[in-house]
Every structure is written in structure tokens, then in C-alpha cells.
Chain A
């Protein structure tokens, strides 16, 4: 381990500790003032908290030091005009001056967006936590893997569509409002038990792992596509990544309910 990595580890430990400090203050205050009982198994809980901070810090260092730089660089390379034009100067000029952008030029960016959205979501610690909880309280009716894969598919589809929007330069709220409308209609047909969990899965998907990579992709893309402003067009991918998992989780529940019914009838 070189000294640079060590410094990042110390920074990450500090950052994670700062993240958990307000939680500790609030918990201690309410435990002391409102509940007025000492915490049972205090030692075990403290050890657990230390493990949460330490584990998250090591995890973040590994990502930031070694995985993100490659991901970010890749997003830049894929959206680079030289790569798109296969280093052909005439094509580069044509791309720069085109009044209408052919969305097909960015094919590899869509493919990359899909797979990076899918794979980063599978590694998201907050989603793993909620998936375990969901499995426990439904005693296995909602499998942790089923939930994680449907959320990951949702993020993948959302990010891909979001990337397409950046390339086309359409207003973000058209897509999001249309998504909300679809979501609300779907909610009427979805099994009732899944609805709150499905809506929760929109918020949990976008944390430590997904946000930095996806934000880098969006801002990188908006900076390189001619005519796009990073500030107006670069944001919004996270909004897509929070919207689509709700749709796919409900779809997962609808499909698995259908399958269970069919099996029961046979």
C-alpha cells in the first residue's frame, strides 16, 4: 500500500465517520432523553458500528482509488469525438457541425451506460441491506437476488434512456413526468404489498457506488456532445436511475405473482 492510498483511506475514514456522527448524536440523545434506558449489548453494538465505518471506508477507497478512475476515463473515451469518428478528421468536422445529431453515433455509450448501471447497482451496499430486510420480513417470498436484479435492470434501463436524452437534448421533465404517469398507472395493477418497497427501491439504488460513476458519465457526455450544456443537460441521470427501478420492481412482483398463480392452478 503506498502512502497516497493510505491518505485516501484516512480521508475516507474521516468522511464516513462524519457521515455517521450525526446519527450517533441523534441516537444517543433520544436513547438518553426519550427512552431513558441503557442500550443492551452496548459493546457488541459499538463494535458493529466501528465495523460499519471501517468496512465502508475500505470499500470507498477501493472504488475511488482503483475502479472509478477507469470508469470515468472510459466514459470520456467513449464520448470522445475522436473515438466516435474512428480518428477520421473529416467525420470529426461533420460531427461538430451537424445541426441534427444522429443518436446512433453514440451506440457504444448506450451499451456502456446499460451495463455500468446494472453492475454498479448490484454492488450497492444500501440495496444489499434493503434486499436482506425484504427477504427476512417476507420470509423469502421476495428473494434478495430477485429484488437486486430487478432494481439493477431498472437502473440500467433508466441510465441508458437518460444518456439518450442528453444526446438528443430533450427537456428532462418530459421524460420524468411521463415516467411518473406510467408508474402511477402501473401501481393500480401491482400487488399491494410490493408498492412501498418498490417506491423505496428508487431511493436506495443511488448511493455510494452508482452516483459518482453515473454523474461522471452524464457530465462527460454533456461536455462532449456538440450543443449540450453540462449544467442543464449533464444532470438528470440520477433522476432516471431513481425512477426506473420502481417500475421494474413492480413488474418483477407482477410477474412473480402471475407465475405463482399459474403454478397453483396446475
Chain B
């Protein structure tokens, strides 16, 4: 049911607007069957493994009451899942090619590779930092909106100094860092933590980790752009 609207949109545009018949229809239908089966298995696995594991660990940490370990856990989870994120590798690769063609770095494979790696580490670090900060926020019960206000102000200020070649990539990098497997786990961590600490409301305090993890890469990638291209760009 979840993919039905996509099929409808594609069929409408193909047949009514572009007015060409479907190229290999049976192949496409086979793909749709795969999508439906895959989604079904994924959600079953989510409910029986990822959600309970995330919540159980958050729960154990809360009982132990050791802030250091849980903040370190938040950082490691954010850093390690982001560095492996395939979508990030693709975008970082594109940014590397762009920087080389703009002359910001030399056009050899080595320097492009080190630029790309630098970018991926920057993003992974910023996601780790964001989740660690978000966990600290849940522990302390600080209002969520402070972080959002501070984050947006930083983005606006940094954009002002950033080269225009990096702005699009930086703003996009906020959205692509949180993958399909990270999101359920991080959501379970936040909600599990907020449910286990007395005086915290799971709705008010449990959500918000993903928001911070989408916000901080923007700031750090803009900063990386300034570092590589110089203030305002070439």
C-alpha cells in the first residue's frame, strides 16, 4: 500500500503527459513486488529488533546513571553510522570533483580523495557531536528550542561567509546524513532515555535528536567550505 501512490504518479505521467508506453512493463511490476515484500520484512525486523534494542540500552544507561558513558555512546553511534552512510559518500565525491574543478584543491586523485575523506569525517563528527549534545539535553532537560535557535543563527551567520559553491551541498548534507537504519535506532534511544528519567516527558524530550543531527552538519560543512575555499570563495 505504501508504494501505491508512486506507481500511480509514474503511470499517470508516462501515459498521459509524456504519452509513451511503458518500457519493459513486467520488469517494473517485478520491482514493485520486491519493494512491497522488502518493506514488510523491514518493518517486522524493526519492531522485533531495532526498537527494543535501542530502548533497552537507553534504559540500562539511565538506570546506571552514568552520563559520561551515554554521551559517549551517543557520539559513537552518530559518528560510526554517518561515516558508513552511502548517500554521504556520493555527495562528498561530487563536492570533491567540484572543489578540484574550481581550483580550490589540486586536481590530482590524492588531493581529491583527501578532500572527500575530510568532508566525510567533518560530517560524521558533526552528527556525533549533535547526538551527544542532544543526549545531554535530554539528561539535563534543557528546552529544545534553545538548540534550534542557536543552530539556525549559526547557519545564517556561517552562510554569510561561505563560498557559494559549498552552500547547496552543505544545506543538502543535513538531510542525507540520517539513514533508514540510524533513524529508528536514534529515535528509540531518545524516547527510551526520556521515558526512563523521572521528570522527562517522552514526547517533549524524547524527540529532537534527529533534528539536531540534521542541523549541525550544515554548520560544519559550511565551515569546511570556508576552510578549503577561503572566506567568500574564489
Do A and B make up one complex?
A: yes
With beta carbons under 8 angstroms apart, the residue of B10, B34, B45, B145 that contacts A195 is B145
B139 interface residue per 8 A CB criterion: no
Q: What chain B residues lie within 8 Å of A54 (beta carbons)? A: 38, 41, 45
A202 within 8 Å of B by Cβ?
A: yes
**B31 near A62: Cβ-Cβ < 8 Å:** yes
What 1/0 flags go to A63-91 for Cβ under 8 Å of B? Answer: 10111001100100110000100000000
**Given A126-B184, A137-B191, A177-B156; A59-B38 close (CB under 8 Å):** yes
Q: Which residues of A contact B49 (CB under 8 A)?
A: 44-49, 51-52
A199 and B148 form a contact (CB under 8 A): yes
In the docked arrangement, what's the CA distance between A219 and B86, Å? 19
Min CB–CB distance A143 → chain B (angstroms): 14
A136–B60 Cα distance when bound, in Å, is 21
| CB-nearest residue of chain B to A5 | B30
Q: Give chain A nearest CB distance to B56 CB in angstroms.
A: 8
B167 to chain A, nearest CB (A): 6
Contact of A206 among B60, B176, B205 (CB under 8 A): B176
Q: CB within 8 A of A59: which of B17, B42, B207?
A: B42
A56 to B187, CA, bound (A): 18
Which secondary structure characterizes the binding site on chain B? helix
Q: Which residues of B contact A77 (CB under 8 A)?
A: 18
- Identify which of B1-9, B104-112, B113-121, B224-232 touches chain A: B1-9
Q: Which residue of A lies closest to B102 (CB)?
A: A231
The answer on a CB contact under 8 Å between A67 and B144 is no
Given A58-B34, A126-B178, A208-B180: A112 in contact with B203 (beta carbons within 8 A): no
Q: Are A70 and B214 in contact (CB under 8 A)?
A: no
CB of B125, distance to nearest CB on chain A (Å): 14
B-side interface size class: 35 or more
Find out whether the CB atom of A123 lies under 8 angstroms from the CB atom of B61. no
Once the chains bind, are A200 and B211 in contact (CB under 8 Å)? Answer: yes
Q: Any chain B CB within 8 A of the CB of A101?
A: no
Complex Cα–Cα for A115 and B176 (A): 21
Task: Scan residues 150-181 of chain B and give those whose CB is less than 8 A from a CB of chain A.
Answer: 152, 155-156, 159, 164-165, 167-169, 171-172, 174-181
Q: Which of A16-24, A92-100, A254-262 contacts B (4 or more CB under 8 A)?
A: A16-24
Task: Kindly state whether residue A211 has any CB partner on chain B within 8 Å.
Answer: yes
B50 touches A19 (CB 8 A): no
Cβ–Cβ < 8 Å partners of A195 in chain B: 144-145
Assembly CA distance A118 to B179 (angstroms): 19
A226 within 8 A of B: no
B174 interface neighbour in A83, A108, A193, A242, Cβ under 8 Å: A242
- B179 partner residues in chain A, CB cutoff 8 A: 19, 126, 207-208
Establish whether residues A66 and B45, one from each chain, have CB atoms under 8 Å apart when the complex forms: no
Cα-based distance from A58 to B53 in the complex (angstroms): 23
Which residues of chain A are within 8 angstroms of B41 by Cβ–Cβ distance?
Answer: 51, 54-55, 58
Q: How far is the CB of B60 from chain A (nearest CB, A)?
A: 5
Known contacts A37-B60, A203-B211; decide if A55 and B84 are in contact (CB<8 Å).
no
Contacts of B37 in A (CB 8 A): 55, 58, 62
A236 with B175, Cβ < 8 A, contacts A55-B44, A122-B5, A231-B98 known: no
Residues of A near B201 (CB, < 8 A) are 193
What distance in Å separates the Cβ of A97 from its nearest Cβ neighbour in chain B? 26
Contact A55 B202 (CB under 8 A): no
Interchain CB contact (< 8 A) of B39 among A59, A74, A112, A203? A59
The answer to whether B152 touches A180, judged by C-beta atoms less than 8 angstroms apart, is yes
**A65-B31, A204-B210, A239-B175 known; A55 and B39 CB under 8 Å?**
yes
Bound Cα distance from A202 to B218, whole angstroms: 13
- Contact between chains at A45 and B168 (CB < 8 Å): no
Query: A177 — nearest CB in chain B belongs to which residue?
Result: B156
Write out the residue numbers on chain B whose beta carbons fall within 8 Å of the beta carbon of A202: 175, 211, 214
> Which residues of the other chain, B, contact A112 by a CB distance below 8 angstroms?
9, 13, 17
Q: Which residues of A contact B (CB under 8 A)?
A: 1, 5, 15-16, 18-23, 25-27, 29-31, 34-35, 37, 39-40, 44-63, 65-67, 70-71, 74, 77-78, 83, 108, 112, 115-116, 118-120, 122-126, 128-130, 132-134, 137-138, 171-173, 176-177, 180, 184, 187, 192-193, 195-197, 199-200, 202-208, 211, 231-239, 241-242
The 5 closest A-B pairs by CB, nearest first: A66-B31, A48-B49, A59-B38, A62-B34, A51-B45
